[in-house]
Amino acid sequence: MLHARTVLVFILFLLLFLLSCEKELPRYYDFQGYEFASVDPEGGTWKPILIENGAAISIPAPESTTSVPYLQEVEQLKDEMARMSESDVKAVTYWTQNPIIRWNEIALELIAKYNLIPGPNADGSYTLPNPANPNGPPVFPFSHPPYAVRALAYLSVAQYDGLISAWHHKFANYRPAPYIQDKSIQPLYADNVIPSYPSDGAVVATVSRRILTQMFPLEADYLEEREAEHLRCLLLSGANVQSDVDAGRVIGDVISSIALARAATDGMKDAQAPKPVSDSLAAAALDRFGWQWINQEVPQRPVGLTPLFGRVKMWSVDKVEDTRPAPPPAIGSPAYEADVAVLRDYAQNMTQERRRIANFWQDGLGTYTPPGHWNEFAKEFIVKYRLNPLRSARTFAYLNMAMMDGGISCWDTKYYYHYPRPIQTDRTLATIAGTPNFPSYTSGHSVFSAAGAEVLAYVFPEEAGVVRGWAEEAAISRVYGGIHWTFDATVGTEQGIDVARYTIDTARKDGAD
Amino acid sequence: MIQLIRLLLVGAVGFTLPLCAQTPSDAILMNAKQACFLLDYNYASFDHYWEGAVKRDNQTIAMVKRNSVMPMVAVGIFDNLNLYAGVPYITTESTMPNGGRFAGANGFQDLTVAVKYRWLNKQFEKGQLAGLATLGFSTPIANYLPDYMPYSIGLGATELAYRAVVQYKYNSGWYLRGAGTYLWRGYAEAERAYYYNDGSYYTSLMDVPSAITAEAVVGKWLFSNSLQVEASYFGAKSLSGDDIRAYSAPQPTNRVNLDRIGLFAHYFSPKFTGLGILAYYNRVVNGRNVAEMNTTGVGLTYFFNYRK
């Protein structure tokens, strides 16, 4: 009896110890505000993407630092800072002085939230998300990889152009931050000597809210709240007065309108083609090559994902056909049969390592998609190399432009060749990843990843080997998953590298190097 | 007594595994000399499930089938304290045709180790009242992937089960039993670095919701205590978690609630001392983020004295 009790008590203690192992799981990238590696006083002269130059957007001249209105603003700021609550301090610490990181995370979160493919209706039909009725069902948007990469591209490009304009005005006006004007102000961020008029943070806040609201209309209220919190933190940090913020918002609004005007006419609204158009693409491939991709879902989806995404306006490539690879092996050819054997072998001999790779890069439904994954890598390098907001925006802009161009090129290839997925032509195959609703050749993961890796290798040359290795792993992961042919992956990787070259050529000429 | 094995296992495998073995002397512990082996097999399947609170089918997975084999051992350490250990081997797959063409999964699932302690055993004029408490610990023993639902063979999380059981057995052979459990669950590890659970998570760790369960059983001993039959209700409720998202795969972070009813019979051979066979059926009748699982199982039990 006594023995039994002793054992029980011992076990209870053991269990209580185990219970204390609960921890907080990371919801965002936890990093400390840092001193920027460079200030880039010439940043205002860099070549933007959408506007002629940084001076193309004008803002009012700032009040001088000795003027009454300015001194009043500083006093107001000191008042506000004195009344800061603990949650204010937490918010200021969260946003940091490189808030592009946070807005990029917000974008990825919304992509993951809306990356849900509409299921079938009771009668076996499918309803498409409709921007005119975003509440649906199904809700708008379905943020699949093409949608996601485009949203990220417009977000990043508008941020970048807005910050070039901000940099132009900052160094033209040179109004130092309030904590430099008034030594009694204790700044909450690292001391980065970048002039404060206009506020770069406010440019980023307003651009991000506007672009993301257009892309995710049901999130308008949420995004407005995040913007308001961010703008308030710009003041509470001691880095900006209200007029800095107001001027930043003007730039943010102007550049957002320009970016959204391009988005409205880039061809995306026609990308989800109607069935007759979709059928004609399949028929053309059947006629030309003797094969066509057919959706294998039950009930069958009548139209693949965005058949005309390949016709969306590219950022750095004039003619998408210039980046279209040679045809895949004919069905039944020796090269094709050899790959069938490879896929069967993978399916029958799944290893822990191949499973891990297939899952790590899957980035499927309900996630931030492959372009999102590469944005996450970029974020970590930006912090590692202590980039300032302007260079951070530049990194994201070229990264997402290259990946969007890569996606457009890939989709052009997919619907031109209309090549079947492995499970369509080999009924014995089973997969460990979901087979997407579009043709196989070339692999989207491969093109997105190679394009993203090339831009990151250009911006962070020390990481070139690492990121290119990742891109190859992402490519082959789809073959391990059983949903792509080996040549989808290898040719897709080459295609991504090729498309990124156009973007990097543009980048090299923008004045930042 | 080894009835508790099955109560333990119910929780240990995320409610999805069937009720397991039951043994002859329901609310009486094996004494310090006895041991018992159990070999259980069950087949379970579903073609509908609850996505949040909405019941649906899904041709991507068609009907999902699961086969489980579980060996288990129970040992009387002290007269009032028994030790249990068991681990199931599970295979899963979809029927053809299906729209997803996913490979199934198979492997050893979680090792469960538990101790059961009897804190009350009182004889009344009309029957006998017994009270028991169980502490269970279970953890995956192989590298199966919990983030591969609905084919995952388990939740992939370490689990601690705290359970109390009270039974009243009438002299007529009828008995009533109630049990309540708190299940603390740790983290499942996915093979991806990001997932969405009402917001972003930048980690491969998934917080598997802890849960409470309740069970009510009515049963009777028949034919001079050689056949035991019972009917049961089992309910479980997660204490946190998100809903399965529209037309999406479930994930270990989901809030899982369920109501399940079941039948169970255990027959003890008068001819071969110590040998018993059992059979059971149970069905999930209502739930949230759970499969409408039908389970049918059979098992063999063998009792013996492992020391003098």
Largest pairwise CA distance in chain B = 62
Contacts of residue B26, defined as CB under 8 A and 6 or more positions apart, other chains included, come to: B1, B3, B167, B169, B175, B177, B219, B228
Q: Which residue has the tokens 């995370």?
A: A105
User: Do B103 and A347 count as a contact with CB atoms less than 8 A apart?
Assistant: yes
The burial of B13, by beta-carbon neighbours within 10 Å (0-12 exposed, 13-18 middle, 19 or more buried), is given as: buried
**pLDDT, position B10:** 36
Q: Nearest by CB to B99, from A113, A297, A366: name it.
A: A297
Q: At residue A467, what is the residue type?
A: V
Mean of pLDDT over chain A? 95
CATH number of the domain that B208 lies in? 2.40.160.40
pLDDT at A7: 61
Indicate whether B270 pLDDT > 50.
yes
Per-residue confidence band for A20, with pLDDT thresholds at 50, 70 and 90: low
Q: In angstroms, rounded to a whole number, what is the distance separating the alpha carbons of residues A68 and B255?
A: 59
Q: When comparing pLDDT for B7 and A186, which is higher?
A: A186
> Hey, is A428 helix, strand or coil?
coil
- Amino acid at residue number A337: E
Which residues of chain B neighbour A380 with C-beta distances below 8 Å?
A: none
Q: How far apart are CA B184 and CA B211, in angstroms?
A: 7
Mean of all residue pLDDT scores within chain B: 89
Confidence of residue B179 (pLDDT cuts 50, 70, 90): very high
pLDDT at B20 over 60: no
pLDDT (0 to 100) of residue B224: 87
* Annotation: CATH topology of A43-57+78-264: Vanadium-containing Chloroperoxidase; domain 2 (1.10.606)
pLDDT over 60 (residue B13): no
Measured between CA atoms, how close is B227 to chain A, in angstroms?
A: 31
The shortest CB-CB distance from A359 to any of B102, B158, B192 is to: B192
Tokens of A305: 């994902």
3 state SS for A212-225: HHHHCHHHHHHHHH
Residues of A in contact with B103 (CB under 8 A): 347, 350, 430-432, 482
- Start-to-end CA distance of chain B, whole Å, equals 20
A496 neighbors A446 (Cβ within 8 angstroms): yes
The whole-angstrom separation of Cα B241 and Cα A172 is 53
pLDDT for A130 equals: 96
> Does the domain at residues A270-508 carry the CATH identifier 1.10.606.20?
yes
A15 close contact with B: CB closer than 8 A: yes
Residue B2 pLDDT > 60: no
| pLDDT value at B140 more than 70 | yes
Whether residue A8 and residue B135 make contact (CB cut-off 8 A), yes or no, is yes
- Closest residue of B to A119, CA-based? B247
Identify the closest residue of chain A to B144 by CA–CA distance.
A352
The residue count for chain B: 308
Asked whether this complex has an ipTM greater than 0.90, the answer is yes
Q: Which 3 state secondary structure label does DSSP give A322?
A: helix
pLDDT band for position A9 (cuts 50, 70, 90): low
Q: How confident is the model at residue B34 (pLDDT cuts 50, 70, 90)?
A: confident
pLDDT in tens, A348-396: 999 999 999 999 999 999 999 999 999 999 999 999 999 999 999 999 9
C-alpha span between B211 and B162 (Å, rounded):
11
Q: CA-to-CA distance for B98 and A297, rounded, in angstroms?
A: 8
Give the C-alpha separation, A502 to A247, whole Å: 34
Query: Which one of A31, A128, A298 would you mutate to disrupt binding with B, by most B Cβ within 10 Å of its Cβ?
Result: A298
CB pairs under 8 A between A and B: 131
| pLDDT band (50, 70, 90) for residue B4 | very low
Chain B partners within 8 Å of A376 (Cβ): 193-194, 202
Q: Please give the model's pTM, rounded to 2 decimal places.
A: 0.94
A-interface mutation test, from B118, B202, B208, B244, most A Cβ less than 10 A away: B202
A113–B247 C-beta distance less than 8 A = no
What are residue B231's DSSP bridge partners? Answer: B218, B263
Q: Where are the domains of chain A?
A: 43-57+78-264, 270-508
Query: CB within 8 A of A1, min separation 6: which ones?
Result: B78, B80
Q: Which of residues 89-118 of A touch B (CB under 8 A)?
A: 105, 108-109, 112-113, 116-118
Two domains, one topology: A43-57+78-264 and A270-508: yes
Q: What whole-number distance in Å separates Cα of residue A195 and Cα of residue A247?
A: 13
Residue in A104, A143, A357, A359 to test binding to B, most B beta-carbons within 10 Å: A359
- Residue ranges in chain B assigned as alpha helix (H): 3-12
- Beta-carbon count within 10 A of A283 CB: 12
In angstroms, the CA A300 to CA A295 distance is: 6
CA distance A147 to A361: 18
Residue B80: the pLDDT is 86
In this structure, what are the phi and psi dihedrals at residue A225, rounded to the nearest 5 degrees?
Answer: -65, -45
* B72-91 pLDDT tens trace: 999 988 888 889 899 999 99
Q: Kindly indicate the confidence band of residue A442, based on its pLDDT and cuts at 50, 70 and 90.
A: very high
Q: Which domain holds residue B134?
A: 3-305
- Given a cut of 80, whether residue A416 has pLDDT beyond it is yes
Lowest mean pLDDT, pick from A12-26, A181-195, A220-234, A286-300: A12-26
A314-318, B144-148, B188-192, B271-275: range with lowest mean pLDDT: B271-275
pLDDT of residue B307: 79
Q: Which residue shows structure tokens 């035991």?
A: B228
Rounded CA gap, A198 and A44, in Å? Answer: 12
Residue of A12, A15, A357 for testing the chain B interface, max B β-carbons within 10 Å: A15
Q: Is B122 exposed, middle or buried (0-12, 13-18, 19+ CB in 10 A)?
A: exposed
- % of chain B beyond a pLDDT of 70: 91
DSSP state, A265? T
Query: Which A residues, 463 through 482, put their C-beta within 8 Å of a C-beta on chain B?
Result: 482
Query: CB distance A367–B97 less than 8 Å?
Result: no
Residue type, B165: V
Note whether A127 and A117 are within 8 A (CB). no
Q: Out of A11-20, B217-226, B280-289, which region has the weakest mean confidence (pLDDT)?
A: A11-20
pLDDT value at position B16?
31
With a CB cutoff of 8 Å and minimum separation 6, the contacts of B168 are: B127, B128, B129, B130, B175, B176, B177
| Counted domains in chain B | 1
If DSSP states are collapsed to H, E and C, what string results for A462-502?
A: HHHHHHHHHHHHHHHHHHHCCCCCHHHHHHHHHHHHHHHHH
Task: Kindly indicate the confidence band of residue B17, based on its pLDDT and cuts at 50, 70 and 90.
Answer: very low
Q: How far apart are CA A353 and CA A343, in angstroms?
A: 16
pLDDT at B9: 36
**Phi, psi values for residue B91, rounded to 5°:** -125, 145
A360 vs A379: CA distance, rounded Å: 18
Confidence of residue A35 (pLDDT cuts 50, 70, 90): very high
> For position A192, what pLDDT does the model report?
82
B residues 247..276 contacting A (CB < 8 A): 247-249
Cβ contact A188:A238 at 8 Å: yes
Distances in Å between the alpha carbon of B260 and those of B39, B201, B283, B287, B294?
A: 23, 32, 6, 9, 10
